[in-house]
Amino acid sequence: MLFSEVYGSYYNVIAAILSEAVAGELTDQRINEIIGEKAFAESVLTIPASLRNGSWPLLTRENTTPLEHIPSMPLTILQKRWLRALIQDPRIKLFSVPEAGLEDIEPLYGEDVFCFFDRYSDGDPYDDPQYVAHFRTILTALREKRRLRIRFTGHRGSRHSWKCAPYKLEYSAKDDKFRVLIASPHNTLTVNIARIKSCELLDHWTDEEYCPKQSVQETLILELKDERNALERVMLHFSHLEKETVRLDDDRYRLTLRYDREDETELLIRVLSFGPMLKVISPESFIDQVKERLNKQAGLRA
């Protein structure tokens, strides 16, 4: 919403048209082609007319322009402040995003404006130098297809040492944790980066040496009752998933979500957080997990 009218579609279209005009290569046909590529279909009725009748005094009837240089669109102060705010996020800092040109810009907002009520409070230590070093070593391995030797602590406190190939990096918004998916010639494993004690780059690997486990896609069908703004909250919670939404009547909707089987536990927790507003229609295995969780909760209260 902040940038809906800043350098929008019309700005980019006109910049492309004027760039070709400066180079002396612009024709009427090319104007229509650029509009078709970069703007809405109906824009072909408005943009050429505005350029021709003088409303936008940027182009002559001979398709030349008084401009001497190709138009540039520098960032506005608002955009710079927004970028500066993003760069302050400790998770983004892990990726070594350059701050050149933004050093003296005041962030548009600070981290203290957010109040997270739907995620665990023991997130990863993003400011810990060892954690940052491990994260960036893993990034290098992913980009260069390098093997790693990692030593980490398992869920039950046992220590492990693996030579492996990292093939995917994931972030859990619910847990506020990063995890790396790794493969050996005979096995695959998901490791929370915060559990890694040491991380060392090794040699390069090829697709023939390692066969990363393919994700298994599942389909979940839900029925939603839109009370207390439930529809908007569900769309936000599951925005990262492929989905289909069908309206059944005034306040009921059917949602079809597609997800990775490895994320099923996290998805189950999210579905339960909506209480009676969400009803699981299928599959039966997911319904059984919902019942099991609810029975456990009932037993704890008894």
CA 48 to chain centre: 37
70 vs 116: CA distance, rounded Å: 45
Mean pLDDT value of segment 191-220: 84
Element (H, E) at 9: helix 9-22
pLDDT for 106: 94
Read off the tokens for 35: 């509009």
Backbone angles phi, psi at 65, to 5 degrees: -140, 145
Residues making up the chain, counted from first to last = 302
pLDDT for 119: 77
pLDDT tens digits for range 238-268: 887 888 989 898 889 999 999 888 788 888 8
pLDDT for 148: 93
Global pTM value: 0.65
Ordered DSSP codes for 221-259: EEEEE--TTHHHHHHHHTTTSEEEEEE-SSSEEEEEEEE
Strand order in the sheet with 159-172: 188-192, 177-183, 159-172, 146-153, 196-204
Query: What's the chain's average pLDDT?
Result: 86
pLDDT tens digits for range 264-300: 888 888 888 888 888 999 999 999 988 888 888 777 6
Nearest alpha carbon to residue 285 among 300, 270, 265: 265
pLDDT tens digits for range 207-245: 776 666 667 888 999 999 888 788 888 888 888 788 898
137 vs 200: CA distance, rounded Å: 7
pLDDT for 90: 93
pLDDT for 213: 64
257 vs 252: CA distance, rounded Å: 16
Residue 96 CB contacts under 8 Å (≥ 6 apart), including other chains: 136
Any idea which residue has 């839900």 for tokens? 222
